[in-house]
Amino acid sequence: MTSGDLSAPELREKFFHHVCQTSPAPLGIVVRSASGCEIVDHDGKKYLDLLAGMGVANVGHNHPQVVTAVKRQLSRHLHVSVYGEMIQEPQVLLAENLARLSPGDLSVVYFTSSGAEAIEGAMKTARKFTDRPRFVAFHGSFHGDTFGALSLNGNPMYREPFEPLVPVVDFLPYGDVGAVDRIGHDVAAVFVEPIQSEGGVRIPPDDFLPALRHRCHEVGALLVLDEVLTGFGRTGKLFACNHWEVVPDLLVLAKALGGGLPLGAFVGTEETMATLSQAPPLGHVTTFGGHPLSCAAGLAALEVLQNERLIERAHELGEDWRRELAKELGPYVRQVRGKGLLVGIEFPSADFTRRFTARCLDLGLIVNWTLHCDNVVSLAPPLCIEAGELEEATKRMRLAAQSA
């Protein structure tokens, strides 16, 4: 049986039998194609993707420039060797661009295949660089689901079934400047999202990240900013840390970095990143990290982001959209908040939120509630979304709320 031969019911049946399920109620859309802001199912029903494939398709699904770059690389070579051994042009060029665009003097990139793998690499780098045991993370955080990344997860419900995890992680309240002094001299690194996405699209007070930066300098801990979701224009700046002019010691990236192909990275200074090349050499390696196809796609996506002014668009459209959403959904919501095109809608109850997201799906809108906050829906559409599409989305969301 080859791809394309099966009917939608056949695919659905095999999906539920053979593809490991991660929840009792997956979205379950049988995908035929995707482009721009739209996903089309097997029956031709069109969905407006207000999640951009969970924060990946910032330049839109299947952007023609990304597809062309991937095809060009496809004709040159695929995987050739483990990461770090051979010099591959797309990897080198993407690293150079990330070094140019990253804040401060972060100039050396370690490529991975995913966000969680990049978090693992940042944890190991911090442990070895500082020779200290402890990590600090925050209540409500999400950094991925591998053992190290899960150890930093700020919700015990997700940690406890898998314990024992990586020891000595302390959790502090997110956004609480008063708690920052609890970061001690035995801390290797503080892991933080500049805006918590799965924590319910929580934006910290303006003095929070600068206070963390200051405290990390004071005690000699590394500040690791997880911009897996907030990076690449999502919040109206290239990186969310640019809003507060905070320069981390390690910047963790993934999702939109690969333009739709799997890619992650962590970026640091020459001094910090030199940790990984010795004592022992090959102490942190990966087979597929920085895959040439993913890097070619990432390079093209970065170019699109800049040429099509998508970062500025995210800022401009985001402000208008949040105002419209607050107006149109007013009686049903507690709050509409966000930055750029990362938006959180807080409803009064989890039950209403579940009914609302189900109605949205019926009406051809892909939205979801956040992992740690079941009464908050997060919206993160492609940054190329048109004002008219946002208007249409708002209209349908009002209908969904009315009938939820």
Ligand X SMILES: Cc1ncc(COP(=O)(O)O)c(C=O)c1O
Work out how close the CB of 110 gets to ligand X at its nearest, in angstroms, rounded to a whole number. 15
Q: Give the nearest residue (CB) to ligand X.
A: 115
Distance CA 127, CA 294 (A): 28
Tell me the three state secondary structure of residue 224.
Answer: strand
Closest to ligand X by CB, 102 vs 153, is: 153
Q: Which is nearer to ligand X, 197 or 353 (CB)?
A: 197
Cβ of residue 391: shortest distance to ligand X, in angstroms?
A: 28
Distance of closest approach, residue 208 Cβ to ligand X, in angstroms = 16
Catalytic residue among 138, 226, 249, 356: 226
Residue 153: how many other CB atoms lie within 10 Å: 24
Selected catalytic residue, list 129, 135, 138, 142 = 142
Q: At what angle do helices 89-101 and 292-307 cross, to 10 degrees?
A: 40
Cα–Cα distance between 304 and 371 in angstroms, integer? 30
Using an 8 Å Cβ cutoff, are 148 and 135 in contact?
no
Distance between CA atoms of residues 291 and 298, nearest Å: 10
Give contact residues for ligand X (rule: CB under 6 A).
114-116, 119, 142-144, 193, 197-198, 226, 228-229, 254, 264
Smallest separation (angstroms) from ligand X to the CB of 118: 8
Strand partners, 172: 138
End-to-end CA distance of the chain: 41
85 DSSP 8-state letter: T
Out of 135, 138, 255, 347, the active site residue is: 255
d(CA 252, CA 38): 28
Q: Closer to ligand X at the Cβ: 152 or 296?
A: 152
Q: Which is nearer to ligand X, 109 or 254 (CB)?
A: 254
Does the active-site annotation cover 5?
A: no
Q: How far apart (Å, rounded) are the C-alpha atoms in residues 381 and 38?
A: 10
Q: Considering beta carbons, is residue 144 or 200 the nearer one to ligand X?
A: 144
- Is 145 part of the annotated catalytic residue set? no
Residue 176 annotated as catalytic:
no
**Least spacing, CB of residue 278 vs ligand X, in Å:** 27
The catalytic site residues sit at: 142, 226, 255
